[in-house]
Amino acid sequence: MTIDPIGQNTYRGLGVPTHGESVIRQQNSTNAALTLMHSAANTGRFLLGLDYKEDLESSLITDAVFDIDAEGGFRTLSGSTIRMELNSTGLFMGSTKIIDQDAGKYVGPMRRRVTTVAGATTAINATSADGAGELYIVSTQRSTAMLYLNLPATPAVGDNYEIYHESTAAGNIVIKTLATGDTQGFHTYISSAVFVTTAGIACQTSGPMHFRFTALTSGSLWAVATYGVFYNSSNEHGQAVAGSTTTA
């Protein structure tokens, strides 16, 4: 990308007002409309925006809302605190780099969407708005009360949900789809074959369980990944099994 030539016209008797609005109209479209140059020390800001003050002379750095700093970085400010900054190395949120200038790579921290479910909850209706990797964590160990996680009837392909809980009773957490008909159900690996069921799925054993559900079709056909299902009273792993859908 080319850099505009510097506008080199000097003051010709028409000063820019310091109190009131003004327009600088470009005359030569190849030149910069306005040029700001550092002092010999190449320090100090190019531009500074302040909150309103009745008395201009009482304005302080704590009133700053944006600036262009000595290195040309554009910053949104809250006084002396930098909220966001775009400079030659990338885009920052505070002091944390979010996008690197090298090919625009995202380098910010990954944050997981998590919903904590109260132990007494009996039904959760997942929505498509939650389908960008929502993780449901049941906050207390469940013994006999049944919990249903109801997946959307018409998800976007690729929507995914996870559920984690430590249970003392096998099969007391059931995941099912709210869709009806032959196009809904779950693909999962059980024993020696892939199966599709129009019922829900549940954990086979008591103990920690962690499932992930990914929408294969907008008709609510889901792939099931078993991240972990364990049996507390012996050293063995569990799996997904068919679950009841008689309760929402």
* DSSP assignment letter at 58: G
Q: Which residues contact 5 (CB under 8 A, 6 or more apart)?
A: 30, 31, 32
Instruction: Supply the pLDDT for residue 2.
Output: 44
Contact 75, 96 (CB under 8 A): no
66 within domain boundaries: yes
- Confirm if 171 and 207 have CB atoms less than 8 A apart: no
| 214 inside domain | yes
**Domain end call among 100, 132, 162:** 100
Joined tokens for residue 138:
């049941």
Q: Please tell me whether residues 157 and 73 are part of one structural domain.
A: no
In 29-155, beta strands by DSSP E: 47-50, 64-68, 74-78, 81-87, 90-93, 96-100, 114-117, 123-125, 132-138, 147-151
Residue at 23 is within a domain: no
Say if residue 94 is in the same domain as residue 130.
no
**Number of structural domains the chain divides into:** 2
What pTM value is reported for the model?
0.57
In a domain, 169, yes or no: yes
CA 76 to CA 94: how far, in whole Å? 9
Tell whether 76 is covered by a domain: yes
Q: Are 91 and 181 in a shared domain?
A: no
pLDDT digits (tens, 9 = 90+) for 51-110: 887 776 767 777 889 999 999 999 999 988 899 999 999 999 888 888 888 777 777 766
List average pLDDT for each run of 10 residues in the chain, which is 248 residues long. Answer: 53 66 85 88 88 75 88 91 92 88 74 80 83 81 78 89 82 82 70 65 78 87 78 62 68
In this structure, the answer to whether residues 224 and 151 fall within a common structural domain is yes
- 206 class by beta-carbon count within 10 Å (0-12 exposed, 13-18 middle, 19+ buried): buried
201: Cβ contacts below 8 Å, ≥ 6 apart? 174, 175, 176, 186, 188, 211, 224, 240, 241, 242, 243
Do 194 and 81 lie in one domain? The reply is no
104 DSSP 8-state letter = T
Is 238 found in the same domain as 118?
Answer: yes
The pLDDT assigned to 106 comes to 75
**In what helix (H) or strand (E) does residue 208 lie, and over which residues does it extend?**
strand 207-215
Do 69 and 130 lie in one domain? The reply is no
Q: What is the domain range of residue 79?
A: 47-100
pLDDT of the residue at 114: 84
Three-state DSSP class for 61? helix
Reading the block at residue 161, the tokens are 């949900």
Whether 84 and 173 share a structural domain: no
Torsion-angle region of 108 (φ positive above 0: left; ψ -120 to 50: alpha; else: beta)? beta
| CA atoms of 61 and 115, how far apart (whole Å) | 41
- What is the 8-class DSSP label of residue 183? T
Closest CA relative to residue 9, chosen from 28, 46, 42, 40: 28
Instruction: Give the three-class secondary structure for 108.
Output: coil
The answer to whether 152 and 128 have CB atoms below 8 angstroms apart is yes
Residues 163 and 208 in one domain: yes
- Residue 222 is predicted with a pLDDT of 87
Question: For position 183, which CATH number holds?
Answer: 2.60.120
Q: What is the pLDDT of residue 10?
A: 61
